[in-house]
Structure 1
């Protein structure tokens, strides 16, 4: 399956991240099977900052987020092979779990 995107709010339609950009995003991660939340930048009180396209995040994020434009809010539906796969994340994400991330692209920086 990989990753599919469900747009909740359109972005500017002009500015898209490219590999190596530093991004600032808000996210809420849930298990697709039951909606159980396992992580949230909003709950932490600060957005998530990372470099896209260089393997710093799961493959579903690297591929899905690069289809988003600045200001866009979407849900990324990520199959386990594009997430944490057979290893999962002990105590948080079971092995072979499909994931849903509600994400919002706040900033794109070189």
Structure 2
């Protein structure tokens, strides 16, 4: 009986080990990043929304009612902080002491998508898989194929570019 119990326990442990292991570190990073909004220490109780593109966002604060989302042809002014999934800050308008203004269509695809969903005054935590960030391109402190996290505060829609 003892041998059969030991054999069952080892078989169960092996089965659990085999089914829980992932062959790709990218999958592990994606799983970690899927939990990012909660892990980022935000006090928001709003749900994490996942879009078909892989964009994930959590609303931290909403702007005034009646505001209109920017379109692809608009420019926006935002404050933001960008981090790698390990917490390394690679860019921050807050640290520079000045918000940034740019065209909605002149940024990485994940930002373009997210900005068109936001309204002035909104503050979101945004997770971008590498496929809608910089992809295989390494830039500055951002390694190639990096998933990115941004805290974005849409200050205003400036208007058409």
The aligned counterpart of 1:79 is 129
List 4+ stretches of structure 1 deviating above 6 A: none
Aligned to 1:68: 118
For structure 1, the residue ranges without an aligned partner over 5 or more in a row are: none
Q: What secondary structure sits across from 1:81 in the alignment?
A: helix
2:98 is aligned with 1:46: yes
Does the C-alpha gap of structure 1 residues 88 and 107 become closer, same or farther in structure 2, counting only changes over 3 Å? Answer: same
Structure number with higher strand proportion: 1
Confirm whether residue 4 of structure 1 aligns to residue 56 of structure 2.
yes
Match of 2:71 in 1: 18
Aligned-residue offset at 1:12: 2.3
1:13/1:77 Cα in 2 relative to 1: closer, same or farther (>3 Å)?
farther
Q: CA RMSD in A?
A: 1.2
Give the structure, 1 or 2, with the largest relative contact order (CA under 8 Å, sep 6 or more).
1
**Equivalenced residues, count:** 106
8 Å Cα contact 1:13/1:70 also seen in 2: no
**Counterpart for residue 84 of structure 2:** 31
The structural deviation recorded for 1:22 is: 1.3
- Asked which structure has the greater CA Rg, the reply is 2
**Where does structure 2 lack aligned partners over 5 or more consecutive residues?**
1-52
SS of residue matched to 1:63? helix
Distance apart, 1:108 and its partner CA: 0.6
| Secondary structure at 2:136 match in 1 | helix
Q: Which has the higher helix share?
A: 2
